[in-house]
Amino acid sequence: MYHKTKSYKVFSIFNYTLLAVLSLVCLIPLIHILAVSFSGKAPANANLVGLLPVQFTIDAYSQTLANENFLRSLWVSFVRTGLGTLISMIVVICAAYPLSKENSNFKRKKVYTWFFVFTMLFNGGLIPFYILIQKLNMMNTLWVLILPGAVSVWNMILLLNFFKNVPKELEEAAFIDGAGYLRTLVSVYLPVSMPAIATISLFAMVGHWNSWFDGLIFMTDHKNYPLATFLQTIIVQQDFSKVSVRPEDLESISQRTVKAAQIFIGMAPILFVYPFLQRFFVKGIVIGAVKE
């Protein structure tokens, strides 16, 4: 009955307080952004908004949802994230499974593994990469956002190690029942690796959703910007020291509330993904499958 002891209670209190503070640190900025997005322009620009909206209005949202550029970017991001995650997961699983096997089953496994790891350590740099994309005629296509990063070596190594920890007996049992390698992967490995696959999918998803630089560089038409690139271009502060500012278009510059609304709308989809993936994070699926 250790949880009855005094020291354990103290520890619990401390623990919960720390976690509560940590989550507040993450939550308060979000609440502030939400408050700004529902506030009037003038108080938002003067930084008078705290955690509650001032001069409540939903103008910022109606303006954002009427902005076709924003909606188009949102769509590009959805397609990119969906397709990108799917393709990335397929190639990563296909690569991790064979590389997780013993040396005796797969000669030169080490060579292949290093072949992958090498790309983690060295790359050609931006300009060769740019020229490559150009020569492949991938500029300004959706594929440029999806294919270059599809083989994520880091994710592959994570998955490879997870596969290694799956008890060999499961695979042997499958083989005895007449399954081949592919069948074993699909029917045995994938179900028991759900926690790892969910985690890595989430990594891939968040990565795709937040990636902005590739969109900026490779999209020759700003209509094809993914949302992250679009947001990045509106949120960064402008420098007017180089431009002839005319009073008549200053109105469009000070749109802190609209920015806040756009940030929030851009963040919401990826926030909603977490709870749905939550159930896959549960470990211990292999318990009882193997009798030692």
Partner 1 sequence: MLNKLKKPFTVLMSATMLAGVLAACGNNTEAGTTNSSSDSFYSAGFENGKYTEPVSITTVFPIGSNVKFKNGENIDNNVHTKWAKETLGIDIKYLWTVSEQNNAYQTKLRLMLTSGQEMPDIVAFRGEPTLISDLIESGQFTDAGELFDKYASETYKQAMAEDPSVWNPYIRDGKRMGIPILENAYNNDPVMYIREDWLKAVNLKAPTTLDELEKVMDAFVNQDPDKNGEKDTTALSVGFKVNLNTWMSDSGWIFGMFGAMPNQWNLGADGTLLYGSIQPEMKPALAKMQEWMAKGYIDKEAGLYDEVKATEAFTAGKSGIIVGPYWMTGWPIPDLLKNVKGADYKAYPLPAGPDGKIGRHGTSTSTGAVLINKDMKNKDAFFVYQNYLFDNWANPKEGGEFENGFAENYDFALDPNGKPYPATETDKVPGGWVDPIRYTLTFDGAIIPSLRLNTLAKLAGGAEPTTRFEKNMSLSLPKQLEAAKIVIDQKAATMPQMFTGVPTKTQLSKNDMLTKLEKEVLNKIIYGKVSVDEFDSFVEQYLASGGKKVTEEVNEWYATVK
Name the minimum Å distance from CB 88 to partner 1.
Answer: 22
In the complex, least distance from residue 244 CB atom to partner 1, rounded to whole angstroms: 4
Q: Which is nearer to partner 1, 129 or 280 (CB)?
A: 129
In the complex, what is the shortest distance from the CB of residue 220 to partner 1, in angstroms, rounded to a whole number?
3
Q: Which is nearer to partner 1, 66 or 121 (CB)?
A: 66
CB 152 within 8 A of CB 160: no
Least CB distance from residue 243 to partner 1, whole Å? 7
CB 170 within 8 A of CB 289: yes
Binding residues (CB under 8 A) for partner 1: these are 40-43, 45-48, 68, 125-127, 130-131, 134, 140, 213, 216-217, 219-223, 225, 229-230, 232-234, 236-254
Return d(Cα 18, Cα 126) in angstroms, integer.
42
How is residue 42 written in tokens? 């003038």
**Cβ at position 255, least distance to partner 1 in Å:** 9
Nearer Cβ to partner 1, position 23 or 254? 254
> Residues 158, 97: contact at Cβ < 8 Å?
no
115 vs 240 by CB, closer to partner 1: 240
Say which residues have a Cβ less than 8 Å from residue 56's Cβ, sequence separation at least 6.
38, 39, 40
Q: Which is nearer to partner 1, 178 or 247 (CB)?
A: 247
Report the nearest approach of partner 1 to the CB of residue 253 (Å): 6
What are the φ/ψ torsions at residue 71 (nearest 5 degrees)? -65, -40
Buried b (16+ CB within 10 A) or exposed e, 116-146: beeeeeeeeeeeeeeeebeeeebeeebbbbb
Is the Cβ of residue 14 or residue 213 nearer to partner 1 in the bound state? 213
Pair 51, 39: CB distance under 8 Å: no
